[in-house]
Amino acid sequence: MAGRGISAYRSAARLNSTSRLAITLAAASCAVAMSSAAQAGAFLLREQSTEATGLSTAGAAAGGGGLGSMFWNPATITDHAGWQSSWSLTGIFPESKITAGGGSSLLAYGANSGNVSQSAVLPASYSTYQLNDKIWLGLAVNTPFGLVTQSNNIWAGSTLGITSKIESYDFNPTIAYKVNDMLSVAAGVQAMYFKTYLRKAIDLPNLFGAGSPFADASVRGDGWGFGFTLGATLKPVEGTEIGIGYRSSVTEKQKGNINFGQQIILPGPLLVQPLPVGSYPAQLTLKLPDVVTLGLKQRITNDLTLLAGFEWDHWNTVQQLPITSSGGFPPAGTVYETISARFTNGYIVSLGGEYKWNPNLTLRAGVAYEKSPINNSNRLTILPDSDRVWTSIGAGWKVSDKLKLDFSYAHLFGRDGTVNITQANPAPLPATTLVGSSRAHVDLVSVGLTYRWDDPAPRPRDTLIRKY
């Protein structure tokens, strides 16, 4: 085995360094250029690998997600010899609807939100390079957090939220060290660009045409945040791999502006006059959750492998989110509005299996239960998330020793929930109560490609043939 590893990394080292850099940058640029946000558990996106999606993320921290497992556990890159890259594209097709009922203060404007969730395509890119028998380098470029929602402009929940868009672009270089055949450890750095846009109604038109025109308020901001990743894999016996990965919390300090479509009077003693229609400096600080992932990959026979996973998401870091002035007028620190998220911690537990139909075709299936940080007490109109059950299938086709193609499909059954917003956030906007129900489901379709840039080491049989 050591000879195969040495042959692999020596072959890769012979490649021109300029071409290696160009290809890596091209892969990263492709992921960024095609990135789009979509809704997942709260706004954490798990659709980071075609292989992992086909397993409902089971065993992702133990290598079940192929090269993309480095998203959950960077130490898994020591499972991949030589120089390899992987790309995945996942189409996310959600449907979420809110129906307002009795007790909603603006029910006369319409009971239904329409389909709040928007479809999107989520890309991910991974590359690993084996320096020697002990050290691997890796780079992941993906979108760990994202959200796009758009309700009807005018309905019973318009003053609570019409549009939300969250985008993130994460650059995650890692280094892994193979201590011995049993243990590998790794660490990485996260550099994450984060962008937010929120829009809601301030005043709705009178149903009989005699009231004020429709006016809205929107806030837009962006910024960079930094964190780290850690991971380890353990192979106590042949055919067993246990993995644990950690993604740290990242604090995103976003600066931008807030726009009012009509004159606003802010609460508090800082202002002695209303704010006219216009744009004002604003900032929002969001502490994203840290994540711990456990994975198990167990080979049962030469053809059958079972996988299991558990992930814990520290979402209760997201509670009250004040949108404040960043300086000038109004004075810095003036609160325009406070978003009351009140998230709870979430988790997902998953089981899956892989079956080698033949040497080139691998079949996958998985099931999972996901506990959302959103429940009946904190569900928002811009984020009508709920607990869900995952079911998934997938397949991998080994085209050659250098190229592999993957496909997966998953359906997420969302649990019906209720919306019970009876107290408006502290804000200058009209108080609105909304009492109703929500329903959601999601379809995922993912395709992936993995390519090995260097020439794989010859198999023992090939060596014998050449020798004799």
Q: What is the mean pLDDT of residues 436-465?
A: 81
Q: Which tokens is 202 given?
A: 């301030």
Task: Of 158, 151, 99, give the one whose Cα is nearest residue 416.
Answer: 99
Task: Please give the residue that has the higher pLDDT: either 414 or 182.
Answer: 182
What per-residue confidence (pLDDT) applies to 347? 95
Residue ranges making up the domain that contains 129: 2-467
pLDDT above 80 for 425: no
3-class secondary structure, 406: strand
The residue count of the chain comes to: 468
Which has the minimum average pLDDT: 341-345, 358-362, 444-448?
Answer: 341-345
Task: Please give the residue that has the higher pLDDT: either 452 or 273.
Answer: 452
Task: Please give the residue that has the higher pLDDT: either 466 or 308.
Answer: 308
CA atoms within 13 A on the CB side of 241: 27
What per-residue confidence (pLDDT) applies to 28? 43
| pLDDT tens figures, 95-118 | 888 998 888 888 888 888 889 888
What per-residue confidence (pLDDT) applies to 413? 93
| pLDDT tens figures, 21-78 | 434 444 443 444 333 444 456 789 999 999 999 999 999 999 999 999 999 999 999 9
DSSP letters, 155-197, are STTGGG-SEEEEEEEEEEEEEEEE-SSSEEEEEEEEEEEEEEE
What per-residue confidence (pLDDT) applies to 185? 98
pLDDT above 50 for 12: no
| pLDDT tens figures, 345-376 | 999 999 999 999 999 999 999 999 999 998 88
CB within 8 Å of 167: residues ≥ 6 apart = 35, 36, 37, 143, 146, 194, 195
What per-residue confidence (pLDDT) applies to 176? 98
What per-residue confidence (pLDDT) applies to 423? 60
Task: Of 345, 122, 340, 166, give the one whose Cα is nearest residue 249.
Answer: 345
CB 264 within 8 A of CB 275: yes
| pLDDT tens figures, 407-423 | 999 999 988 888 888 76
Q: What is the mean pLDDT of residues 215-221?
A: 91
pLDDT band at 206 (very low <50, low <70, confident <90, very high): low
Residue owning tokens 């869900």:
388
CA triple 7-13-18, angle to 5 deg: 155
DSSP for residue 264: B
CB within 8 Å of 424: residues ≥ 6 apart = 430, 431, 432, 433
Q: What is the mean pLDDT of residues 296-318?
A: 96
pLDDT above 50 for 17: no
pLDDT above 60 for 427: no
What per-residue confidence (pLDDT) applies to 275? 84
pLDDT above 50 for 158: yes
CATH of the domain at 50: 2.40.160.60
Query: What is the C-alpha separation between 293 and 11, in angstroms, rounded?
Result: 34
Query: What is the C-alpha separation between 318 and 322, in angstroms, rounded?
Result: 11
Query: What is the C-alpha separation between 126 and 252, in angstroms, rounded?
Result: 24
What φ, ψ does residue 372 adopt, rounded to 5°?
Answer: -80, 150
pLDDT band at 444 (very low <50, low <70, confident <90, very high): very high
| pLDDT tens figures, 227-266 | 999 999 999 999 999 999 999 999 999 999 999 888 887 7
| pLDDT tens figures, 371-397 | 999 888 788 888 888 899 999 999 999
What per-residue confidence (pLDDT) applies to 74? 98
Quote the number of domains for the chain. 1
What per-residue confidence (pLDDT) applies to 402? 95
Which has the minimum average pLDDT: 64-73, 205-214, 459-468?
Answer: 459-468
Task: Of 105, 197, 127, 116, give the one whose Cα is nearest residue 433.
Answer: 105
Percent of residues, the chain, with pLDDT higher than 70: 84
